[in-house]
Amino acid sequence: MEFLDLPQLASAAGNVRLPGSKSISNRVLLLAALADGETEVRDLLASDDTERMLEALQALGVGVTALGGENWRIKGCGGRFPVKQAELFLGNAGTAFRPLTAALALAGGDYVLKGVARMHERPIGDLIDGLRQLGADVTYLGNDGYPPLHLKPATIRPGGTVSVRGDVSSQFLTGLLMALPLTGVETTVDVVGELISKPYIEITLAIMARFGVEVKREGWQRFVVPAGSVYRSPGTIYVEGDASSASYFLALGAIGGGPLRVEGVGRDSIQGDVRFAEALAQMGAQIEMGPNWMEARAPEGGLVAVDLDCNHIPDAAMTLATAALFAKGTTTLRNIASWRVKETDRIAAMATELKKLGAEVEEGEDFIRVTPSAVKPAAIDTYDDHRMAMCFSLAAFATPLRINDPKCVGKTFPEYFQRFAEVTRAAPVIAIDGPSASGKGTVAARVAAALGFAYLDSGALYRLTALAAQRAGVAWDNEAAVAALAAQLDVEFNGEEILLGGVVVGDAIRSEDISAGASRVAALGAVREALLFRQRAFNRLPGLVGDGRDMGSVIFPQAQLKVFLTASAEERASRRYKQLIGKGFSANLPDLLADLRQRDERDAQRSVAPLRQEADAQLLDTTTLTIDEAVNQVLTWFSAVAQ
Ligand code: DC
């Protein structure tokens, strides 16, 4: 599986231009397709969900032209799709599936609508019940109440009153409302149960109005689509930035200092999720807003917990659940039942993953309660849910972490992690690589002490792995078995001391025997893979000095300073000789030199993470340098890049 490892973050500030709103993009595309005339859609979101909608419209015979950038021309079909028989694949795009179902059921034709497995677990029965009241002929091809669907031509009986449930997903009501003008007759929609996610209905009504259809609304229970409603192209329409996407950056600013400004949504937005800013302000964040921008800063004393009804910001509220990791007290998010029927069961997913980080979490049918506690590194699963990936990126302010399947952000924000990297600053790393006995361990440890940074002796992990294999009777070239041991290594670094299984290992990992074993196990790809995240988890505040062979090339390619520290083979052999004798081991200089050359060769020639000087690494040859001189050189280089 693909993953993205995030170092612990130090701060966040800057500007982000947001991608277009998913909800607005797919509504605009459908209405432009149903309208009379051509519509130029500007700043459309480029994402999986909008691609599914564009593909579907093309399959239905709608003229779709890419104009370059995120601009498209849609040639409306006046409510009559030219293609009357089609099979449409809509991925996991609820914002395409629901309204297309409604429009196609009323437009007449023979259509099959399918999606990914998760789409087939997301309920649609309430919408179908509404459509059937109008005479639509819909067959469930899988389970009753769920996609895939077969829509057949039917005699539509327009007019009168249709009732639809509003307490599972507002997308059912949105789908019906957007499709009803196709009937040409006044129709009333009665909402059964309390309507959730009302702001999304506001978006629907606002966009329908832009296309010339004014829905009359009586509170949130009754909606009337007047007779003679016809969609007409507004000519050119601009898609607002995505307010839900804004939530991650506002939260980054609120946690990581700020000011962090998002551009593309603001006070004048039609998206309810802009009210996420109010929720963040309740947590103490300093928020400023203009017509189409918002900005967040961290409060003086840190964020505080909130107890909030989130019905009005169902998607952005997820961001509060991970922001809660940084708030004093227990945060409770209520009235979020709709989370359970989204891309995944978001309440369950959120609870499971927050617990992995060490938070205390309580979940109910329609609420989640989060109490932060000591956060620990973890690999976070994202459940093919873009918002899970984006929400958990915030947790990097508390700990280094791994995000599994990060590309799921493509659903709404393919470039999320690029923007994220641009506005955040990570805990610094100094990567010191070099051959055996070059003195890099001593230099690295002293540099770390001088800066107050943590120190990672990555060679020790390979040595410990070799030792653990030896103790378990596993051969050093048994890749799978050694990798399994490496993954489970119960190791603790406690200052100068290293503990394996709770017992101090001392010099047992420094013998020539284990040195040879370490060099062997380090050549195994699966072993290196197993130790990857364990090493990256050291990338915490205030900073890290790591020494090894691949610190700068593989483990911390983003390191602020990379040093390739070496010395002549003779000098290194002589240093090792003195070290061994000093520790009471017996040693022979010519043998040591030969062994060292052999190990250098193996470390440099192996296919995985070979030892080499990176192009962006500083060369430090210590053959004629004292330790102090070497340490001072590294500190001088670092102070130049740390500015
Ligand atoms: O730095 P050291 O001598 O303690 O390393 C022991 C072995 O582990 C050595 O053969 C190289 C290997 N190693 C590695 O492959 N990658 C690292 N990052 C660190 C060490």
Cβ proximity of 209 and 236 under 8 Å: no
**Ligand 1 proximity of 553 Cβ (cutoff 6 Å):** no
Compute, in angstroms, the gap from residue 629 CA to the centroid of ligand 1. Answer: 24
Strand partners, 463: none
Q: Could you tell me if the CB of 603 is within 6 A of ligand 1?
A: yes
Here the tokens at position 322 are 């991970």
Look up the CATH superfamily of 429-641.
Answer: P-loop containing nucleotide triphosphate hydrolases (3.40.50.300)
Nearest CA to ligand 1 atom 8: 459
The dihedrals phi and psi of 403, each to the nearest 5 degrees, come to -110, 115
- 186 close to 159: Cβ distance less than 8 angstroms: yes
CB 92 near ligand 1, within 6 Å: no
Q: Is the pLDDT of residue 477 over 90?
A: yes
Confidence tier at 179 by pLDDT (50, 70, 90): very high
**Each residue of 264-315: pLDDT tens digit?**
999 989 999 999 999 999 999 999 999 999 999 999 999 999 999 999 999 9
pLDDT at 643 exceeding the cut of 80: no
- Give me the CATH topology for the region 3-12+242-425: UDP-n-acetylglucosamine1-carboxyvinyl-transferase; Chain (3.65.10)
pTM: 0.88
Bond into 590 cis (ω within 30)? no
From 462, 521, 598, the mutation candidate for ligand 1 (largest count of ligand atoms within 8 A of CB) is: 462
* Residue 436 alpha carbon, nearest atom of ligand 1: 3
Q: Which of 585, 446, 458 minimizes the C-alpha distance to 510?
A: 585
Q: How far is the CA of 496 from the centre of ligand 1 (A)?
A: 18
Binding site membership of 549 for ligand 1 (Cβ less than 6 Å): yes
Which of 519, 545, 605 has the most ligand 1 atoms within 8 A of CB, as the residue to mutate?
519
Write the Ramachandran bin of 40: left for phi over 0, alpha for psi from -120 to 50, otherwise beta: beta
Place of tokens 């929400």: 391
Token couple for 359: 């938070």
269 in Cβ contact with 293 (< 8 Å)? no
The mean per-residue pLDDT over the stretch 371-382 comes to 96
Q: Where do the DSSP E strands lie in 153-302?
A: 160-165, 187-192, 216-218, 222-225, 236-238, 257-263, 286-290, 293-297
pLDDT at residue 497 in the model: 86
CA of 638 to the centre of ligand 1 (A): 23
Q: What is the mean pLDDT of residues 389-410?
A: 98
Q: Please report, for residues 154, 179, 457, the alpha-carbon distance to residue 138 in angstroms, rounded to integers and kept in the order given.
A: 9, 15, 64
Residue 459 Cα, ligand 1 centroid: separation in angstroms? 4
Q: Are the CB atoms for 77 and 83 separated by under 8 Å?
A: no
Q: Among 110, 132, 107, 109, which Cα is nearest to 183's?
A: 107
How many helices (H) and strands (E) the chain has is answered by 20, 34
Handedness of CA 535, 540, 545, 550 (dihedral sign): positive
Q: In which band, very low, low, confident or very high, does the pLDDT at 436 lie, cut at 50, 70 and 90?
A: confident
pLDDT digits (tens, 9 = 90+) for 218-238: 999 999 999 999 999 999 999
| Residue 430 confidence class, pLDDT cut points 50, 70, 90 | very high
**Residue where the block lists tokens 């988890």:** 537
In 145-207, at which residue ranges do the beta strands (DSSP E only) sit?
Answer: 149-152, 160-165, 187-192
> Are the beta carbons of 12 and 262 closer than 8 angstroms?
no
CB 54 within 8 A of CB 78: no
Q: Which of 242, 273, 315, 603 is catalytic?
A: 315
Q: How far apart are CA 110 and CA 398, in angstroms?
A: 53
**Ligand 1 atom 3: the closest Cα is on which residue?**
436
Q: Looking at ligand 1, which residue's alpha carbon is closest to its atom 2? A: 459
Query: Which residue intervals of the chain bear CATH 3.65.10.10?
Result: 3-12+242-425, 22-238
How close is the Cα of 558 to the center of ligand 1, in Å?
20
Cβ contacts of residue 605 below 8 Å, gap of 6+?
none
Q: From the CB of 187, is ligand 1 less than 6 Å away?
A: no
Residue whose CA is at the smallest distance from ligand 1 atom 6? 459
**CA distance linking residue 489 with residue 563, whole number of Å:** 28
Active-site annotation holds for 405: no
Of 399, 400, 408, 304, give the one whose Cα is nearest residue 349.
408
pLDDT at residue 631, as a whole number: 98
- Residue 8 Cβ < 6 Å to ligand 1: no
**CA–centroid distance for 66 within its chain:** 28
Tokens of 453: 């940074």
Rounded to the nearest angstrom, the distance between the alpha carbon of 529 and the centre of ligand 1 is 14
pLDDT digits (tens, 9 = 90+) for 116-146: 999 999 999 999 999 999 999 999 999 999 9
Q: Confidence band (pLDDT; 50, 70, 90) for 6? A: very high
Q: What is the pLDDT of residues 44-84, one digit of tens each?
A: 999 999 999 999 999 999 999 999 999 999 999 999 999 99
**Ligand 1 and 465: CB distance under 6 A:** no
In percent, the amount of the chain with pLDDT more than 70 equals: 100
Atom of ligand 1 nearest to the CA of 460: 4
The backbone region for 377, taken as left when phi is positive above 0, alpha when psi lies in -120 to 50, beta otherwise, is beta
**Residue ID of nearest Cα to ligand 1 atom 15:** 522
Cis omega (within 30 of 0) on the bond before 199? no
What is the Å distance from ligand 1's center to 564 Cα? 14
Ligand 1 atom with the smallest distance to the CA of 555 is 18
User: Phi/psi zone of residue 264: left (φ > 0), alpha (ψ -120 to 50 degrees), beta?
Assistant: left
Give residue 565 CA to ligand 1 midpoint distance, Å: 14
Instruction: Return the closest-CA partner of residue 70 out of 348, 354, 264.
Output: 264
Please, what is the end-to-end C-alpha distance for the chain in angstroms? Answer: 37
Residue 493, beta-bridge partner list: 498
Residue keyed to tokens 């107890």: 307
User: Where does residue 59 rank: exposed (0-12), middle (13-18), buried (19+ CB within 10 A)?
Assistant: middle
Enclosing H/E stretch for 78: none
Burial of 452: CB neighbours in 10 Å, binned 0-12, 13-18, 19+: exposed
pLDDT above 80 (res 405)? yes
What is the layout of strands, in order, in the sheet containing 360-364? 307-309, 331-334, 367-371, 360-364
**Ligand 1, atom 18, residue with closest C-alpha:** 548
Q: Is the CB of 548 under 6 A from ligand 1?
A: yes
Cis amide linkage into residue 99, ω under 30° from 0: no
Cβ of 556 closer than 6 Å to ligand 1, yes or no, is: no
Residue range 482-515, pLDDT digits in tens: 999 999 999 988 877 899 989 999 889 988 899 8
- Closest listed residue to residue 326, CA positions, set 383, 267, 285: 285
Options 3.20.20.80, 3.40.190.10, 3.65.10.10, 3.40.630.70; CATH for 22-238 is: 3.65.10.10
| Per-state percent for the chain, helix, strand, coil, to nearest 5 | 40, 25, 35
